Amino acid sequence: MREILPTLAGWHAAGIPFGLATVVAVSRSAPRGPGAAMAVGPGDEVVGSVSGGCVEGAVFELAQEVVASGEPRLETFGYSDEDAFAVGLTCGGEITLLVRPVTAASDPAFGAVAASVAAGEPVTVGTVVDGPAPRGATLAVWPGRAAGTLGATGLDVAVTADARGELALGASALRHYGPHGERREDAVTVFLESFAPPPRLLVFGAIDYAAAVARIGDFLGYRVTVCDARPAFATPKRFPAAVEVVVDWPHRYLRGTATDDRTVICVLTHDPKFDVPLLEEALRRPAAYIGAMGSRRTHEERRARLSEAGLTGAELSRLRSPLGLDLGARTPEEVAVSVAAEIVALRWGGSGAPLTTTTGAIHTAAVH
């Protein structure tokens, strides 16, 4: 949804109705997770995807139908083994979609939500999926305000509280309530979709490897900052336009920068005067991933210095060094792929092994 919001916001601002399909639930090996979205707008223009191609044709027709009728639909698509050309997911999974018409009248807060997402401001949208409440009704919830209604005051109050809880976690989920927001009932199903600001990727050491890591980090949706104390190296022209470049001592910059459990820190300086004080700071603060470049000898020397600085065994165990998966990488771009692969594997609980050697579900639940 985040990727297609600029287009949808343009349609909404122009008063053009469109059909929006959103994945609200998945099971087994579904290709896209909750929140994946596809929209059909003017001239049958299609943006986004809900299944990577398996059911898009059927969803296209559903989106057209809901715009024509004004009535939202809830549809589930699963695997079809009777007819290779039947509408179904060839991966064997199942997805449930809410397909609803979006107009300026039915969803007046849509533009404000899109503007907040574009500005990096956190917001959660609650949408009625099923039950006695009006299907497709939306309630947008920011940390300090809300807009819209799900049809009942009590339901709005309960959903607002839960939406702020999900927003703090950056999570999206289905929640169940009574018709007036009763907590122990499940008559009304609401999809809470959180748009938290993008996670941070902090890259220290403005070398060629940093440029490659910054590019792939930007591609993966991180807000990327590259920091180096050397002005000759930390120049914006060496990095993608979306990457922030800072000239400062790495440990001093990190000390003044907020991190959270989604933050990724990559230390590419492999110089003790930079990376030891930097890692001493990094390993004592929240982060999803802390990796450092260097040979195994450099790693052992660095670890000894950090131990002498007073870091505990538990703190040192958080360090991924040498960083990256064993792909046999040589070039900066290949090393960046190796680093990105380790970050993704750690985030989702992947083993890093070739899928041909593993069994069971390909897509696992989130770990971080």
pLDDT tens-digit map of 245-288 = 999 999 999 999 999 989 999 999 988 899 999 999 999 999 99
Q: Kindly state the percentage of the chain with pLDDT values over 70.
A: 92
Q: Which two three-digit tokens encode residue 160?
A: 């607002």
What is the model's pLDDT at position 247? 96
* DSSP notation for 172-190: -EEEEE-TT--TT--SEEE
Residue range 201-259, pLDDT digits in tens? 999 999 999 999 999 999 988 999 999 999 999 999 889 888 999 999 999 999 999 99
| Residue 132 near residue 26 (C-beta atoms within 8 A) | no
Stretch 292-306: mean pLDDT = 93
pLDDT surpassing 50 at residue 171: yes
| Ramachandran angles phi, psi of 236, nearest 5° | -55, -30
Per-residue pLDDT, averaged over 135-153, amounts to 95
DSSP annotation of 59 reads: H
88-102, 117-131, 153-167, 328-342: range with lowest mean pLDDT = 88-102
Rounded Cα gap, residues 338 and 329, in angstroms: 7
pLDDT at 66 over 80: yes
Flag whether pLDDT at 361 surpasses 80: no
Backbone phi, psi, residue 312, to 5° = -80, 170
**Over 70: is that where the pLDDT of 24 sits?**
yes
Question: Which stretches within 43-138 are classed as H helix?
Answer: 56-69, 110-118
Distance (Å, rounded) from C-alpha 101 to C-alpha 107?
A: 9
Q: What is the pLDDT of residues 187-198, one digit of tens each?
A: 999 999 999 888
Between 71-80, 158-167, 212-221, 245-254, the lowest mean confidence (pLDDT) is in: 71-80
Q: Which pLDDT score, from 0 to 100, does residue 81 have?
A: 45
pLDDT at residue 50 is higher than 80: yes
How far CA 193 is from CA of 11, 142, 155, 259, 273, in Å, comes to 21, 12, 16, 23, 44
pTM of the model: 0.68
Give the integer Cα–Cα distance in Å for 232 and 210: 14
Amino acid at 111: G
SS3 361: coil
Q: Residue 344 in contact with residue 336, Cβ under 8 Å?
A: no
**Contact of 143 with 164, CB cutoff 8 Å:** yes
What is the mean pLDDT of the segment spanning 296-315?
A: 94
